């Protein structure tokens, strides 16, 4: 795996749209060293802690090359689809959902991070860019980004190497998890293996377990199970 360098972003909540909602999806690049704690980057904040932030969503990473893919689908938004604009804390080139696995451990500066779940995009992405359909396309294409838990707190700065330090046995690519989860009738053995992926958050383990239970109880009747999405996901 190549060793990319990082761009770092933080932000605080502001109004989004005209509905009186807050969001911290607007981020600014960090100019100097920043502390990375169990709760994320110093100076970063989340508007709705029910679905954003916390130790299992401490740091959000989005692949820089995903923006070109989004701009190809939404050319009218190409000028707005720039690195940092989707609310990430870390951006790199050279890592994406097909190459990064649940459980992967990375070092940046003196901090150690572990991939623990994909990002579930919400309506605020459409609101951020002032267009309809981006969130749905991200869900359908799997260009979701991902979250880290912080194994060791430390300090990082823009331009630091983002070093892949460990991949546990049985690790599952983010792309595999996302594709399996969104199938109408996923292979239950494959889904069970994904639930057992080292490093996956307890919330996702439960979510997959609930769906496996539903599939076992409904072997041939319905097309979707609990938690699946025929449209945009509603949580970040």
Give pLDDT tens digits for 194-213: 999 999 999 999 999 999 99
Domain spans of the chain, in order of start = 7-168
**CATH code for the part of the protein at 7-168:** 2.40.33.20
CB atoms within 10 A of CB 80: 15
Tokens representing 154 are 């430390």
Label the pairing between strands 7-10 and 90-92.
antiparallel
Q: Do the Cβ atoms of 5 and 92 come closer than 8 Å?
A: yes
* 3-state helix/strand/coil string of the chain: CCCCECEEEECCCEEECCCCEEECCCCEECCCCEEEECCEECCCCCCCCCCCCCHHHCEEEEECCHHHHHHHHCHHHCCCCCCCCCCCCEEECCCCCCCCECCCEEEECCEEEEEEEECCCCCHHHHHHCCCCHHHHHHHHCCCCEEEEEEECEEECCCCEEEEEECCCCCCEHHHHHHHHCCCCCCHHHHHHHHCCCCCCHHHHHHHHHHHHHHHHCCCCCCCCCCCCCCCCCCC
Give me the residue label for tokens 């383990």: 205
Q: Tell me, what's the pLDDT at 233?
A: 41
Give the model's confidence band at 111: pLDDT under 50 very low, under 70 low, under 90 confident, else very high. very high
Closest CA to 57 of 67, 68, 65, 45: 45
Q: What is the pTM of this model?
A: 0.90
Q: What is the mean pLDDT of the chain?
A: 90
Of the candidates 42, 1, 9, 3, the residue with the CA atom closest to the CA atom of residue 145: 9
Distances (CA, A) of 65 to 15, 70, 225: 28, 9, 32
pLDDT confidence of residue 137: 97
Residue 45 binned pLDDT confidence (cut-offs 50, 70, 90): confident
């Amino acid at each position: 795996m190549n060793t990319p360098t990082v761009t770092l972003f933080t932000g605080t909540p502001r109004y989004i749209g005209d509905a009186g909602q807050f969001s911290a999806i607007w981020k600014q690049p960090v100019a100097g060293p920043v502390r990375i704690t169990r709760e994320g980057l110093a100076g970063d904040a989340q508007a709705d802690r029910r679905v954003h932030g916390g130790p299992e969503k401490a740091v959000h990473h989005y692949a820089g090359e995903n923006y070109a893919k989004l701009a190809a689908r939404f050319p009218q938004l190409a000028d707005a689809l720039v690195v940092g604009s989707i609310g990430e804390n870390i951006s790199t080139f050279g890592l994406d959902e097909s190459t990064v696995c649940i459980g992967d451990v990375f070092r940046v500066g003196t901090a150690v991070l572990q991939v623990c779940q994909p990002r579930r995009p919400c309506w605020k992405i459409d609101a951020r860019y002032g267009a309809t359909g981006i969130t749905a396309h991200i869900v359908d294409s799997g260009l979701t980004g991902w979250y880290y838990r912080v194994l060791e707190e430390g300090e990082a700065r823009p331009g630091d190497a983002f070093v892949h330090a460990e991949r546990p046995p049985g690790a599952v690519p983010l792309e595999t998890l996302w594709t399996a989860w969104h199938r109408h009738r996923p292979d239950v053995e494959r889904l069970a293996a994904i639930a057992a992926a080292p490093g996956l958050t307890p919330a996702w383990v439960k979510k997959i377990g609930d769906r496996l239970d539903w599939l076992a109880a409904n072997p041939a009747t319905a097309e979707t199970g609990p938690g699946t999405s025929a449209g945009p996901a509603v949580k970040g």
